[in-house]
Every structure is written in C-alpha cells, then in structure tokens.
Structure 1
C-alpha cells in the first residue's frame, strides 16, 4: 500500500520523465525550454502561471516526498534519480533551482509565439526544466485556452452590441459561465472559470470566487456576480398544471426594483409559457414588478428557438427601436440562451437575432461545456519544447523538425518576445535583441521565489477589460 500525496511534485510528471536525467549528453549544464500555442483559431490570452506557482512551486520538496516517490517509481518499473532529488533538498532547501519567465498574465499575443520560458539556474539540475514539463504545460495550456476562447466570444458579442445597441456597457455580463458541473474536476472549475473572469463578470462557478482570492489577490473584492435562477426541478415540482403558479412564485420571491432573476421556461411548452403565461396571465405582474425577468429556453435548435422566442415576446410585450435601428424589448424582459453555446454557435445565433431586426442587447448567453470542457491541448496546439542546451560551457540551439509534420517544427535557441517596428509581437532569439527592444518575457519565478504577484483587476485591464 502506497502513501498517497497528490501534491508530491516529483510524482506530478509523466512516467518516462524519471529516466531522462541519464539521457542527456555528458557535460550538460543548462537546458532552456519554451511554451507556445502553435496554432488555432484564437489569439492567446495568457493566464494561470501565477496560480500554479503559488499552489505547487511555493512548497518545498521534502525527503519524505523523495522516499514516497522512490517507492512508487521503482515499483512502477522505472529508474529513480534519488541522488539528484536529495541534492535539490539539501542544496536548495527543496525549492526548484529554476528561472521561469513569461509574458504578463492577461497579455494577448498571436499564436506561434513564446509565452513562457524556463531554464535551470544550477548546472547540477540540467534535467529539471524537462522534468516539470508535464505540470507546467498543463498549468498554462488549460486556463490560457479557456481565457482565449472566452476572449474570442467577447469579441463576437462586442461587435454585435456595437452594431445593434445604443452602447456596450453590459458587455462583461453577456456571457455567463454555466460550466461547473460539466468540468472534469473541482480544480479545473477553479482554474477555467477564473480564466473566463479575465474577460467577463458573470459566473455560476463559485470555485472561481475562491480561486480569485487564493491566487489573484481578490480577497476583498467580488470578481463576478450571478442572479437567482430556476431549474427544472423547482418548476416541475409544481406539476404541469401548476406552472403558472411556479412562475408567479418566482416573481413574488425575486421581483423588485433593480432586481433580476432567470426562469427556465421550457419544462413543457416554451411557446405556451411565453404566449399564455408570461405574456398573458402574468403579463401585468411582469410589467409592474420593477425588475427584469430573464426567460431561459433550454432545448431545441438554438438559432430557431431564440429567434422565435424574441418574436413572440415582441408580440406580447412590444418593442422600441434604438438609435441603431434595432428592436429592443422592454427593460423588464430579456432572454438567456444557455443550451448549445460554443464559440461557433454563438456567432450564428447573434447573426439570426440581428437579421430578424433585434438588438443583441435583448439576449445574454450561458456557456458550459463549450467553455470549460470542450477544449484540449490540441485546441491551440500547445507544446513545451527544449530549444537550447549548454554543454561544457557552450550554448547550442536544439530543435525538432519532423519530415512527416512540419507543423511540429520547434523553435531554436534561447528566446525573447518583442514588438517589431510595426508593433507586431514576434519571437526572436534572445541573443539578437537590440538595445531598443524590450523583452516582453519577464522573470516570474526564480529559485523558489514568486517575483510577480498580480491581482485579477490588473490582468483584466491587460486583456482589454
């Protein structure tokens, strides 16, 4: 029976990494590796490194960790670098002798650029940058991909509001995170939902609120908000014959000046709910309650359902025409579409809404699996590769260039990220930097110390909040 400690950093790696320390050339001293998103449909919004450093690299490795790792790794059929890990504990008090530099969190760069670079600071530990690849790459690719997808969606919604609404003031509340139950783990929710909050201020993932406080200094500030909302169980508990009473109870419980609440309305017949309950039996209550009813369809083909729902609500409640020439429902009734939302479907729904003459301000979106779970490392082709090694005092470039897939060609040398004369962000060799160029990569972690501790507010500003 093995002791189980998921926070043992030695075990937070791929099995094959345990044998790599004897595979490098004799005389190896330093290894420099970098992380990039090699491709994809989205610009990179960098996020998550600070959380990883605080959670995993700020606690030293101990001799107990080494003993546990040795038992498991050797039983697993692999070699174990006990002397190397013991030396790390004895010489560096268990903290990793690494330099990690990265772009500022919330920074936006095109794909195929270095966003993070790591090198060992002690030549005895040339094997360490590669050993932490598994944990470090995972810590960056997932929250950065979610932040990038979320940012892309924000751009779609912003364009729609600028085209069809009097203003875009409500933008940060137009894409709500519904992804908590569909994520693969609690930590995934914390990281992914927090990454979404780089761009928006609406979430139903309370783990993100804890994460913002734990990792990004939002102890006294609330980074996101939600509203009271119904689910099918609270509506169907009243029975089909009690649906009107269920809806009326929502108005009673949550209506009021300045308040908003959401009611899922497709338990039986969405069109009946709009035409005969909200738009007839409870119409005066909705009009006079002082707040905003947000009707939530939750089934059917989204583009068709959203358009028809808007058209039926327009018949029952009327519309005004804004300065852009688009129809707007009264302030007391809106729609939220939270079923079937992805970066691709979002744009299609908005196009249908605008084509029907309705402003995008009539609708808010909820995104669940498409935001937190339907992403993987290949979504943006993330990779961490070694690009330079120092052997016997001499640095040399190293790279891969497989003849069977040139898209997997890796970069060479110790790298830097700069803006060229045209303001375009590009990756260059650090040795080629000139005196007028600033390296956008900055030291974040050196030898166990976190050097930059940003709060979420600053990160949001960088991302164009």
Structure 2
C-alpha cells in the first residue's frame, strides 16, 4: 500500500486538544494568514515591501477538497476514526484525545469552513492579511485553527516564490528598458532550474507555478501540469529547449569535446535552440577556440518555425559576474579578462539597440544557472551595461539557491486568530508580546482589507457588516471552491503592476 497523507494528521500534535482548551461555549474561531515582515527577505535595495499572493486555489483543490475527500470523507467511517484514535493513543496516551468530534465531521461530509481571500496575483503590503478563515457551523469551531499547520506549510512557499520571480522580472524589465533590449524577451530570460533542489517533487511543482506567474521559461515539467490542473492554464504555459548535461559531455570524452559540440549542433539539433554545458573542462577554450572552429556550422543552422537557430553556451561554475562580464584581476587580454559576452561578440559580432547597446548575433547566446541570486543578477546586468551590452545577451537560470534558500520567516508568514464567539458573544482577540519588537503584534477582531493608493490597507476591529465589505472575497465555503482565477488572469494582474515600474524608469 502506497503512502498518502491522512488529512486528519496533517497537523502539529498540539492542535488535537485545543477543542477542549477553548472556553466552554466557544462557537466560532476566526483567523487570518498574514505576511508580517520582509526583514529577513534578501531582496534588492529598491524592493517596495509588497508580496505576491499566490497558491491558495491550488491548495484548496488539492488538499481541502481532493485530499480530504479521498483520505477522509470517502473512506469508511469506522476505519478512519480508528486510525485517528490509534495515532493519538500511541503518541499522546490512551484516551488523551476523544474522537466524537471526528465522527461528527465525517457524518457532515465536508469541511465546514469559509475562506475569504484577496485575488491571487495581488501584490500585498506587509502586515495585510491575504486571507481569513472561519468555521461555518458552531459545532466545528475547533476546525479553523486545526488546519493552520497545513495551510501555512502549503501556502508560504508559493507566495514567496511568486514574489521573488516578480522581482527578477522587474529587474530584467528595468535593464531591458535601459539598454533597449526586447521587452518581449523578458518572459524567457528568467528560467526555472530549481526542481532538483526543492523539498520534494510536489514542492517543486507548487513553487514552480509561482515562477510561472512571471515567466514562461522553465524546466519544471510538473509545474506546468499543476498550472493546467488547478489554474486552468492554457496557451503558452511554460517552454524550454534541448540541453546537455555534464554526463553527456563526459561520455563524449575530453579529447573529442569539439566533435561532441559539432554533433549536437549539426546532426542532432540542426535548427532551433540548443543549450550546451561548456565548462566540463575548459570553458575559455570552448569559447575562444571551439566556437571559432564551429563558427560557420553555427551560422549555417536552419531557423525553426519560430525563426530560432541559436547555440546557447552554458557556463556552470565559478564567479558568475566575472565569467560573464570579465575578471579585471585576470591577465589583461585573456579570455577570462574579457568575459564570455565580449568573447562571443569578438567572434560573432551582432547588432545595436536604438540606445546603442550591443546585442550578440542571433545564432549565439549564453545562459548561467549556478547559484544565481537577485543581487548577482543585478551585478551581471550592471556589468553588461558598463561594457555596452544589452541585458538580453544572457538568460538567467534561477535555481534552488534562490527558490529553496528561504523559509516561512522570509516574509514572516503566520496564522493568527483575531476573533471568536463564546455563548453568542463576540470576542476580539489579539497578541502583543512585551518581549517582541512589534513584528508579532497581531491585528484585532474582525478584519476588512481595502485597496489604497499604495496597495492594500487593513482595518481591524470591524463589525460583521464591515467585515463583509472590502477586497477579501469568499473563495471556499463548505467543501466547495467558490471563486476561480486562471493563470492568465494572475499573470495579467502582475503585468499591470509591472506597468507602474516601467512608467517610473
């Protein structure tokens, strides 16, 4: 029997008995999910402190509906209840947690919860909730915060990835405008290389869709599947190209490396784009010698249906800024001193943008995907600009060093209850630890979020009527997805946000 997540157990143990710990007569618990601070986020100096909200719709469909139905509601009641009791008894002690509420939930047949959220693809200010959740039946007040663990675990990553992807796109757009490069090229200039370094293949899929909110370049096949299934993605969702790895080059042997290049360029891929890892042995030899010997073969390649016939050289080690832009400490005049872009320019030439920046010949290009960060990407783009090259001369492979080198605390995500009802009387809840700097201070009471000139603004201590207003809309209620966004719609929301940055350049 294969392992699958039991949704009842997708919790921290301490959640199991909060049902009894709440005051007698508790009827409703109302909580929110909020990014509290970007203090630990390693963003660029001009980051405007806004997070891209993304991932809820996929989580609702995959976990709150499919996983709960398949792993609980559609299972034999006696079986699932006995399994739950066994897990609690063996870990917390015999009879430590009763099961009557679990039986009642199974009898109900769905999750009695209501989730309200901002539209996915919104850029949200810190300390503004992206969603709220409340139980819809008084008997199941315990369920609101019972799902905190899985809600937090499944949502913080997608939003964090989508935020970082947007920042890459904003950076690349800024330099495209400065150097006259094609804006249309930006969507493929950030390419997702992260899958192998993520915390499992499902994490790679979810995170990979976060990347796809801003780009179409990706090697994460599962991310495209996820986007199609849960975000009705259509048209051009994600694209990639044929590419080698070091095992391919090694198998061809070092003494025959030139012939491996020639076979790839002339026989296997005589048209279209092919990416060839070029530093298995001597990257500078590949660029300064092999590319000269292969120049005519490269220029003779046939454009495909999209008009593309490019050989992309891929360095995969060393200091990316120095490899691409040149090392001022290297011996003057050497390939290392000149850098990869200058070398290819000297061999293949190219054209100039309207702003006077150089663009490599359309038959050659570069992609770098080793430990790229926002800061390194910016340094490379600055170096290219200083050398007189347009930003479009390089594609960035964005890997797990960016997309997995972060935590829930990157944007301080937390689920907090701010309102409850006991014996028919509402209670405003909040925390404000005296030992904290203020980051952990929560909102209070029922919440409303409104659009403002600077994005979104939170209003707390609201009446029930006020809580029904604003930009938080019901997306899930009583086991049903109520409101859907497509990946295209999410991309459009972010594209509109990007326009304001274009206007400021």
Q: TM-score, normalised by structure 1?
A: 0.94
CA distance in 2, matches of 1:127, 1:5: 27
Matched, 1:209 2:248: no
CA distance in 1, matches of 2:2, 2:267: 47
What is residue 10 of structure 2 aligned with on the other side?
Answer: 12
What is residue 258 of structure 2 aligned with on the other side?
Answer: 244
- Could you tell me how far 1:431 is from its partner in structure 2? 2.4
- Could you tell me how far 1:270 is from its partner in structure 2? 0.8
Contact 2:446–2:463 (CA<8 Å) still a contact in 1? no
Deviations 1:41-61 (A, max 9, x none): 452111111111111221433
What is residue 176 of structure 2 aligned with on the other side?
Answer: 161
Moved more, 31-40 or 451-460: 451-460
Contact 2:419–2:445 (CA<8 Å) still a contact in 1? yes
What is residue 138 of structure 1 aligned with on the other side?
Answer: 153
- Could you tell me how far 1:238 is from its partner in structure 2? 1.4
- Aligned pair partner of 1:47 in 46, 54, 63: 54
- Could you tell me how far 1:221 is from its partner in structure 2? 3.8
What is residue 381 of structure 1 aligned with on the other side?
Answer: 412
SS at match of 2:133: strand
Q: 1:329 to 1:438 in 2, by over 3 A?
A: farther
Matched, 1:277 2:287: no
Matched, 1:453 2:484: yes
After superposition, where does 1:185-224 map in structure 2 within 5 Å? 185-218=200-233, 221-224=235-238
What is residue 359 of structure 1 aligned with on the other side?
Answer: 390
Matched, 1:77 2:77: no
Contact 1:255–1:292 (CA<8 Å) still a contact in 2? no
What is residue 367 of structure 2 aligned with on the other side?
Answer: 336
CA distance in 1, matches of 2:399, 2:64: 30
- Could you tell me how far 1:227 is from its partner in structure 2? 0.3
What is residue 86 of structure 1 aligned with on the other side?
Answer: 103
SS at match of 2:462: helix
CA distance in 1, matches of 2:469, 2:423: 30
Contact 2:443–2:460 (CA<8 Å) still a contact in 1? no
SS at match of 1:118: strand
CA distance in 1, matches of 2:322, 2:464: 54
CA distance in 2, matches of 1:224, 1:215: 15
Deviations 1:392-450 (A, max 9, x none): 11212111111111211111111121023x35411113726998x95111101101111
- Aligned pair partner of 1:286 in 276, 292, 298: 298
CA distance in 2, matches of 1:408, 1:194: 29
CA distance in 2, matches of 1:81, 1:453: 37
Contact 1:343–1:370 (CA<8 Å) still a contact in 2? no
- Aligned pair partner of 1:412 in 423, 440, 444: 444
Q: Which runs of 5+ in 1 are unaligned?
A: none
What is residue 119 of structure 1 aligned with on the other side?
Answer: 134
SS at match of 2:475: strand
Q: Which runs of 5+ in 2 are unaligned?
A: 42-48, 303-308, 326-338, 497-505
SS at match of 2:252: coil
- Could you tell me how far 1:372 is from its partner in structure 2? 2.9
Moved more, 55-64 or 158-167: 55-64
Contact 1:146–1:375 (CA<8 Å) still a contact in 2? no
What is residue 34 of structure 2 aligned with on the other side?
Answer: 36
Matched, 1:403 2:434: yes
Q: TM-score, normalised by structure 2?
A: 0.87
Contact 2:34–2:414 (CA<8 Å) still a contact in 1? yes
- Could you tell me how far 1:319 is from its partner in structure 2? 3.4
Deviations 1:13-68 (A, max 9, x none): 00111121111112211110000111114521111111111112214334232221
Contact 1:294–1:335 (CA<8 Å) still a contact in 2? yes
Deviations 1:326-351 (A, max 9, x none): 11111111110111112222212211
What is residue 23 of structure 1 aligned with on the other side?
Answer: 21
Contact 2:179–2:355 (CA<8 Å) still a contact in 1? yes
Contact 2:52–2:162 (CA<8 Å) still a contact in 1? yes
Moved more, 389-398 or 313-322: 313-322
What is residue 230 of structure 1 aligned with on the other side?
Answer: 244
CA distance in 1, matches of 2:3, 2:29: 29
